[in-house]
Structure 1
Amino acid sequence: MDINSFDKIIKRSLDIREKYHQLEIKGNGAQWTLEEDALAYLTDAGLVGRNVMSHEKTWLKKDSAEELEHKLAENIWWLITLADRTGIDIKEAMEKFLTKTENIF
């Protein structure tokens, strides 16, 4: 994936999050706080774990390959939106992380 593709993914992710904020305002009178976003992310991260267990046949659920795929992507979406809300440039953060980790090896 080139950087322009990642830029498009980030923009689309933030556009979708803004639409959810509008639904939150309409339904609850306020958009979710940063903490509520973080808790929603953690819930979805836990569901990734359950779906991996289902994939490995160690959790009593139907084969959930489609759900696992969805939740993995949703977790990336959450991380993009959390980075944005905390003022972190996710592209720069990824570059730093990858470089630091590569240098360990």
Structure 2
Amino acid sequence: MTLNEVNEQAKEIRSRYHELEKEIHGSVWTVEEDALAFLTDASLIGRLTMDNQGRWPSDNRDILPSKIGECVWWLSVLANRMNINFEDCVKDFLEERLNSLE
């Protein structure tokens, strides 16, 4: 799957969640609320990583791969909501890092 395909699917999924948010709360989450949700999932990855490495017990160890995927999804969502090209973000970052290590 390409980053562009990830991005397109992320938009579709987020659109569906926006509909659910409108139904439940009367409005969609703000960009700031999306960022907080991302940080919550990223923090959970930290704990699950500790569990994976035998440093913190967890009853949810099987969800680590899903949470990693969810964080990629959130990053795509955040980029889209702030009118930043997700694919370019990743590509430019990787190129900059590779160039800095040469």
**Do the two structures share a fold, i.e. TM-score over 0.5?**
yes
Structure 1 counterpart of 2:43, which letter?
Answer: G
Q: 2:70 aligns with which of 74, 81, 98?
A: 74
Structural RMSD (CA): 1.2
Residue in 1 that maps onto 2:44: 47
- Deviation beyond 3 Å, 4+ runs, structure 1: none
Does the 8 A contact of 1:54 with 1:62 survive in 2?
no
User: Given the alignment of the two structures, is residue 94 of structure 1 paired with residue 93 of structure 2, yes or no?
Assistant: no
Counterpart Cα distance in 2 of 1:62 and 1:54: 9
In 2, distance between residues paired with 1:85 and 1:34?
Answer: 7
Q: 1:25 aligned to 22, 27, 36, which one?
A: 22
Task: Tell me by how many angstroms 1:63 deviates.
Answer: 6.7
Q: Which residue of 2 aligns with 1:38?
A: 35
Give the paired residue count: 101
Question: Deviation digits for residues 14-72 of structure 1, max 9, x if unmatched?
Answer: 100000000000000000000000000000000000100110111122471x3100000
Structure 2: tracts of 5 or more residues without a match? none
Structure 1 portions without partners, runs of 5+? none
What is the TM-score with the length of structure 2 in the denominator? Answer: 0.93
| Counterpart contact for 1:55–1:63, Cα < 8 Å | no
Question: Percent identity between the aligned chains?
Answer: 38
State how far apart, in whole Å, the 2-side matches of 1:29 and 1:88 are. 27
Change (3 A) 1:23 1:63: closer
Is residue 83 of structure 1 aligned with residue 79 of structure 2?
yes
